[in-house]
Structure formats: C-alpha cells, structure tokens
Amino acid sequence: MRHALLESLSAGLSAAGIACLRYEFPYMQRASKRPDPPPVCHATVRSAVLEAARLSSAPLIAGGRSFGGRMSSQAQAIAPLPKVHGLAFIGFPLHTAHHPTDDRAKHLFDVKVPMLFLQGTQDELADLTLLAPLVKRLGKQVTLELFEHANHAFHVPKRSGHTDAQVLDELIRALGRWIVTVTAA
C-alpha cells in the first residue's frame, strides 16, 4: 500500500479525478515476507472492494500491483466482486523469475469483466512470448499495454532514453484512459 509506485499512481489518478482505495494484505501489515494463503488474500480483496463500494456509488475497478493484481483476479474468478466493472494489473506476475510458464493464468478465463495488463517489456515475471498470446486468447475485452524497457517495478535503464518519471506518467495516462472507457460502458 505504501509502495512508491502505488502512491504515485494513486496521486496521479486522483489528480485526474479518479479516486483510489489502497489496502494491505495481512502479511504485509505483519511485515512478513511470506504471503498469506490465497483464501486470506481473496477475503482481503473482497473486504477492500466492499469498503470501496460503501464509500462510493461509482463503478469500481479492482486490481493491483504484482501479487495484489493476481489475488484480485483470483477473487474475481471465484465469485464476481460487487460493483467491479474491470480489473487492472500493474505488472501481473505470470510466473516466477527465470521459470516462464502461464500456469498462474488459468483462472483468468473465468473472469468475465474487462482486464488491463500494464507490463514492462523487461518484466522478469511476465515473459511476453507467453503473456501476449495469453491476452489474445482471453479475448476482446482484455488489453495489454507495454512499457518499453521497463522491468517489473517499471524502472527503465538510463540508456533507454526514458526516465522512471516518464514511465509513471505513461502508466497514469494509460490506466486513466482505460478506467474512463470501462466505467462509461
């Protein structure tokens, strides 16, 4: 919840008139490196979505960065999250580093709302030779936005000719455009 990228994205979206609700999984609150079991994480996602629905009558987008996005998608696949019109993933962790597979994505075929994947082309947790065909198989309501030279943390090397701040601005614009489109439908 206090990750610099999430704080910056939240501030940028808020400046564009899009409210954000950030939350933490229990293991993060305990400062543990070991994630909670999926049912605990799914319950945490549901609780956050219910709180967002209580606070606002606007259509909701759920999702998150890395693990948070994956847990949000699993929760949505198990049972639709109330008032959620789409899922946005900031660096979806398709696989562990150096072990490319798309096994973690099987549940995505059970998600029935639009999905947005914001991915760096150098993301070590999402081999594009697996992710791009997966997105295509998922269908028309799934969008993949790529960020050249960005890694899983959306950091870009100096030699890329871009800065992390430019990538952040691009992330905010892409996410904001997609949210407006999905919630207007």
The structural domains of the chain, with segments of one domain joined by +, span 4-184
Alpha-carbon torsion angle 81, 82, 83, 89, nearest 10 = -20
Residue 3's pLDDT is what?
A: 81
- For residues 100 and 102, what is the distance between their CA atoms, to the nearest angstrom? 7
Q: What pTM did the predictor assign?
A: 0.95
CA 53, 47, 89, 16 torsion-angle sign: positive
Helix (H, G, I), strand (E, B) or coil at 55: helix
Instruction: Locate all alpha helices (DSSP H) within the chain, ordered by sequence.
Output: 4-15, 26-29, 38-55, 67-78, 128-138, 164-184
Residue 165's pLDDT is what?
A: 95
Residue 2's pLDDT is what?
A: 76
Angle at Cα 110 formed by Cα 108 and Cα 113, nearest 5°? Answer: 80
Helix (H, G, I), strand (E, B) or coil at 45: helix
Main-chain phi, psi angles of 10, to 5 degrees: -60, -45
Low-confidence ranges of the chain (pLDDT < 70): none
Length of the chain: 185
Q: For 4-22, what is each residue's pLDDT tens digit? A: 888 999 999 999 999 999 9
Residue 185's pLDDT is what?
A: 75
CATH of segment(s) 4-184:
3.40.50.1820
- For residues 61 and 97, what is the distance between their CA atoms, to the nearest angstrom? 28
